[in-house]
Amino acid sequence: MAPRRARKRAEGTASSNVFSMFDQSQIQEFKEAFTIMDQNRDGFIDKEDLRDTFAALGRINVKNEELEAMVKEAPGPINFTVFLTMFGEKLKGTDPEETILHAFKVFDTEGKGFVKADVIKEKLMTQADRFSEEEVKQMFAAFPPDVYGNLDYRNLCYVITHGEEKD
Whether this model's pTM surpasses 0.95? no
pLDDT at 167: 53
Helix then strand count (H, E) for the chain reads 9, 2
Distance CA(149)–CA(156), nearest Å, equals 15
**Number of CB atoms found within 10 A of residue 153's CB:** 21
Cβ contacts of 45 within 8 Å, gap of 6 or more: 34, 37, 38, 78, 83
Pick the closest to residue 86 from 21, 162, 38 (CA basis): 21
User: Which of 17-21, 35-39, 67-71, 138-142 shows the lowest mean pLDDT across its residues?
Assistant: 17-21
pLDDT at 45: 96
pLDDT at 162: 72
With bands split at pLDDT 50, 70 and 90, how would you rate the model's confidence at 115? very high
Residue 124 has pLDDT above 80, yes or no: yes
Task: Give residue-wise pLDDT tens across range 1-50.
Answer: 444 433 333 333 344 467 777 788 888 988 999 999 999 999 999 999 99
Residue 61 has pLDDT above 70, yes or no: yes
Task: Give residue-wise pLDDT tens across range 38-56.
Answer: 999 999 999 999 999 988 8
pLDDT at 13: 38
Mean pLDDT for the chain overall: 82
